[in-house]
């Protein structure tokens, strides 16, 4: 394997790994939604995989358009920056809406007591939740749009470091080399995302929420909201 190709592939792998780990938006939303949104591990894996692929392929497509039409790197980076702002605001808005929905759900599902008097004069009080059975039956239906919202955000969300890497590879290598460099970047990015998400999601299942259980959706939304805010404010 030519030295130049080996160097670019190694660079792609290292950049992909550190870029993914340094960006909380690559894993926090999935970890939060998996644990607090009560996703199965299978659903968590599939959603993370599809969002990761969409995230990488969206930027690959833009880079290929730039190469095909000779668009300058600065212009492509400006487009990626605009996409980044849009994705961060979309993630923030989604988290806020989901949090509000979760709070409303928690309020409706709040436990309360009722007193009952029997004919023999005995009285007792019991605690129950009116919407518990209804909420349980429809929990999957209530959250079925969430993966698609995340997927849409990630498809339009940029992978900023990929475009200059692909364009550098296009200058120095042939088509096969560009494909290999891009594939290495994609595999490492998605693989790192899935490793972080699945490890944290599996570990988090052993943490009991107790009385906070009914606020699980609200907490998931809050985590996604804070993730979006951190991207906007800190440039993560």
Look at residue 3 in the predicted model and tell me its pLDDT. Answer: 83
Q: Is 57 helix (H, G, I), strand (E, B) or coil?
A: helix
CA atoms within 13 A on the CB side of 228: 24
pLDDT for 50:
92
Q: Is residue 118 part of a domain?
A: no
Q: Is residue 185 part of a domain?
A: yes
Query: Does 23 fall in a domain?
Result: yes
**CB hemisphere CA count around 156 (13 angstroms):** 14
> What is the C-alpha separation between 179 and 177, in angstroms, rounded?
5
Domain count, the chain: 1
Q: Does 147 reside within a domain?
A: yes
Give the span between the Cα atoms of 32 and 232, in whole angstroms: 19
Whether residue 120 is contained in a domain is answered as no
Q: Is residue 180 part of a domain?
A: yes
Residue 116 domain flag: no
Domain of 210 in residue numbering reads as 3-111+126-234
pLDDT tens-place values along the chain, 236 residues long:
568 888 888 999 999 999 899 888 889 889 988 887 778 899 999 999 999 998 888 888 877 777 776 666 677 667 667 767 777 888 888 889 988 988 888 777 665 454 555 555 555 555 545 444 444 434 444 456 678 788 878 877 767 777 778 777 877 878 888 889 889 999 999 999 999 999 999 987 777 766 777 787 888 888 888 888 887 776 55
Residue 16 lies in a domain: yes
């Amino acid at each position: 394997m030519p030295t130049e190709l080996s160097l670019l592939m190694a660079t792609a792998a290292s950049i992909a790994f550190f870029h993914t780990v340094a960006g909380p938006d690559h894993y926090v939303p999935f970890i939060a939604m998996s644990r607090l949104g009560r996703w199965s591990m299978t659903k968590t894996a599939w959603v993370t995989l599809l969002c990761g692929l969409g995230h990488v392929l969206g930027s690959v497509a833009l880079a290929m358009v730039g190469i095909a039409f000779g668009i300058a790197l600065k212009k492509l980076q400006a487009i990626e920056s605009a996409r980044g702002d849009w994705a961060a605001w979309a993630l923030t808005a989604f988290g806020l809406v989901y949090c509000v929905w979760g709070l409303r759900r928690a309020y409706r599902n709040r436990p309360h007591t009722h007193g009952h008097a029997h004919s023999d004069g005995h009285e007792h009080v019991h605690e129950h939740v009116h919407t518990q059975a209804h909420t349980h039956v429809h929990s999957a239906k209530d959250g079925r749009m969430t993966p698609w919202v995340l997927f849409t955000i990630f498809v339009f969300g940029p992978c900023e470091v990929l475009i200059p890497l692909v364009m550098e590879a296009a200058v120095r290598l042939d088509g096969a080399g560009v494909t290999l460099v891009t594939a290495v970047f994609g595999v490492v990015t998605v693989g790192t995302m899935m490793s972080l998400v699945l490890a944290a999601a599996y570990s988090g299942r052993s943490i009991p929420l107790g009385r906070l259980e009914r606020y699980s959706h609200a907490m998931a939304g809050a985590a996604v909201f804070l993730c979006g805010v951190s991207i906007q404010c800190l440039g993560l």
